[in-house]
């Protein structure tokens, strides 16, 4: 049985009402564009979840329920519920039970939501392909650890470091690295990207995926990260527009507004791509204010 089938069968068993969504996800015309990545992500998920796969499916269902409540709030109020990082920290990042279930759910969404898989595909084929050999790599908010593990496995890094604000997230990242056979030398640090970092280190490649929308002041965080980037270094940024979630603070409403924001921080955008929510075209997602993931590869101007 393919890894995709093994994961999706387990989810359907735990949550039969989700079968229609899953079938739609894997029946899209564009799936052939990244089916190799879907299979790779599914295989990683099977290794990471092991015999606990049913629990992860339950956590995924729980996470979707929480996101649905935020979706209802967003449709009614046209803004996200939380307005400060402090609230998100108290409610979520500093709540180990909530956080570990949330990260488990997010792990499964990397396969089950086409926009998430498409982002990983882009990261793999465009960003990791583009960074220079022997890169010194820094990732912010690695969470489930899939991006960090793929970067580590690329064979292009001479050093790897990651910072995350949540201890539960760091435990999930460590589990991913250990299970997927990463080197012991990867430095995981409990750190808040919004607090200017005392590090003397410089990095050739920096990754910040699905983190900026969690911050009060994403511009300050991006500018602070730019101070630790080498002048020719590359940054990979991924954010979802119109994407209500329990810990999302900063709302960008269109991909264009986000790209302008990145440029206004002093970055030159070298490449970008948009990936709409599962089951929708980009046009539909734009018209209905649905989630669109926006990926950017940039360097300092």
Ligand X SMILES: C[S@@+](CC[C@H](N)C(=O)[O-])C[C@H]1O[C@@H](n2cnc3c(N)ncnc32)[C@H](O)[C@@H]1O
> Does 211 help bind ligand X (rule: CB under 6 A)?
yes
Q: Alpha-carbon distance 112 to 195, whole Å?
A: 34
Q: Which two tokens stand for residue 133?
A: 């050999």
Residue window 94-123: x/- pattern of binding to ligand X, with contact defined by CB under 6 A: ------------x-----------------
Count of beta carbons in the 10 Å neighbourhood of residue 1? 6
Among residues 37, 38, 135, 166, the one that binds ligand X under rule CB under 6 A: 166
How far is CA 257 from its chain centroid? 20
Q: Alpha-carbon distance 108 to 210, whole Å?
A: 15
Longest dimension (CA), the chain: 51
Among residues 192, 230, 271, 289, the one that binds ligand X under rule CB under 6 A: 192
Among residues 94, 194, 254, 263, the one that binds ligand X under rule CB under 6 A: 194
Least Cβ distance, residue 172 to ligand X (angstroms) = 8
> Does 140 help bind ligand X (rule: CB under 6 A)?
yes
Least Cβ distance, residue 152 to ligand X (angstroms) = 14
Closest among 43, 237, 63 to 139, alpha carbons compared: 237
Least Cβ distance, residue 73 to ligand X (angstroms) = 18
> Does 169 help bind ligand X (rule: CB under 6 A)?
yes
Contact at 8 Å (CB) between 212 and 218? yes
> Does 165 help bind ligand X (rule: CB under 6 A)?
yes
Q: Alpha-carbon distance 254 to 259, whole Å?
A: 9
Nearer to ligand X, 170 or 285 (CB): 170
Q: Alpha-carbon distance 60 to 49, whole Å?
A: 12
Nearer to ligand X, 143 or 276 (CB): 143
Nearer to ligand X, 1 or 209 (CB): 209
> Does 8 help bind ligand X (rule: CB under 6 A)?
no
Query: Nearest 5°: CA angle at 253, between 147 and 88?
Result: 60
Nearer to ligand X, 57 or 165 (CB): 165
Helix (H) / strand (E) element for 30: namely none
Query: Interface with ligand X by CB under 6 A: which residues?
Result: 93, 106, 140-143, 147, 163-166, 169, 192-194, 209-211, 214-215
């Amino acid at each position: 049985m393919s890894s995709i089938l093994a994961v999706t069968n387990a989810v359907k068993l735990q949550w039969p009402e989700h079968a229609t969504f899953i079938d739609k996800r894997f029946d899209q015309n564009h799936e052939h564009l990244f089916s190799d990545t879907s299979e790779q992500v599914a295989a990683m998920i099977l290794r990471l979840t092991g015999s606990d796969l049913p629990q992860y499916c339950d956590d995924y269902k729980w996470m979707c329920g929480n996101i649905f409540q935020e979706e209802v709030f967003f449709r009614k109020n046209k803004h996200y519920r939380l307005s400060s990082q402090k609230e998100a920290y108290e409610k979520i990042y500093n709540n180990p039970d909530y956080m570990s279930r949330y990260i488990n759910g997010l792990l499964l969404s990397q396969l089950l939501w086409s926009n998430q898989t498409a982002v990983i595909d882009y990261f793999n084929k465009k960003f990791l392909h583009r960074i220079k050999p022997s890169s010194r790599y820094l990732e912010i908010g690695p969470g489930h650890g899939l991006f960090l593990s793929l970067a580590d496995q690329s064979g292009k890094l001479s050093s790897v470091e990651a910072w995350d604000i949540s201890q539960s997230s760091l435990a999930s990242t460590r589990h991913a690295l250990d299970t997927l056979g990463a080197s012991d030398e990867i430095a995981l640090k409990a750190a808040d990207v919004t607090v200017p970092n005392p590090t003397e280190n410089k990095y050739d490649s920096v990754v910040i995926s699905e983190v900026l929308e969690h911050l009060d002041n994403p511009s300050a965080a991006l500018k602070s990260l730019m101070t630790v980037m080498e002048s020719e270094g590359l940054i990979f940024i991924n954010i979802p527009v119109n994407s209500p979630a329990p810990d999302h603070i900063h709302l960008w409403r269109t991909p264009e507004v986000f790209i302008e924001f990145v440029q206004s921080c002093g970055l030159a955008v070298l490449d970008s791509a948009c990936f709409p929510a599962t089951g929708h075209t980009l046009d539909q997602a734009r018209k209905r204010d649905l989630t669109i993931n926006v990926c950017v590869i940039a360097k300092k101007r």
